[in-house]
Amino acid sequence: MEPIINKVAESGIISLDLETYFSKEKLIVFDLKDYLFMGLILKEKDFRAALITTDWEKFRDSYVAVTCSADAIIPMWANMLVTVYLSPIAKGVFFGTEEYVKEQLLLNALNTIKGADYTDQRVVVKGCGEDPVPASAYVKITAILRPYAKSIMYGEPCSTVPLYKKK
């Protein structure tokens, strides 16, 4: 009986799983809707008073998504004022929904990848996983790898879609 040979393992293909770059840090949403008068209007005096009494410690060492889930017009200074309070204690402050901030944190993490580490390598960017990876991350990793990799594929090492091959 002949031994079973794992041709994928012997191929030298590097599998890159973008899910591993998702932030594991705590992310908290700061929703301005909770500070609106009648759920519609931001009154400056009341807003400033409410911010003074807010328990900011719950945001310590966390990433914070500043957003407003109500359909209200929020003046830009309100987002800035919230950031004034959050900046000294939060790990990072972003404007946008929780999903948007998660995407930004993922893209920031991908910026740490050095394309030169993949020089003349065959790379498969892993597809399907447990957590959906935004399209922007696939575009980002392709742009990082393209100048260096010998080839770039999408999918799983046993079943890939070829995207690029150095000539």
Q: Tell me the pLDDT of the chain (167 aa) as tens digits.
A: 766 544 444 467 999 999 999 999 999 999 999 999 988 899 999 999 999 999 999 999 999 999 999 999 999 999 999 999 999 999 999 999 999 999 999 999 999 999 999 999 999 999 877 888 999 999 999 999 999 999 999 998 778 899 999 98
Boundary residue ending a domain (90, 122, 137):
90
Write down the pLDDT at residue 6: 46
Write down the pLDDT at residue 167: 85
86 and 133 together in one domain: no
Write down the pLDDT at residue 4: 57
The amino acid at residue 32 is L
Q: Would you say residue 48 lies in a domain?
A: yes
Closest alpha carbon to 154 in 167, 99, 137: 137
Write down the pLDDT at residue 46: 96
Predicted TM-score (pTM) of the model is: 0.83
Task: Indicate the number of domains in the chain.
Answer: 2
Range of the domain at 150: 7-23+113-165
16 and 34 together in one domain: no
Q: Would you say residue 96 lies in a domain?
A: no
Q: Helix 76-86 to helix 44-53 angle, to the nearest 10 degrees?
A: 20
The string of DSSP letters for 46-103 reads HHHHHHHHS-GGGGTTSEEEEE--SS----HHHHHHHHHHHTTTSSEEEES-HHHHHH
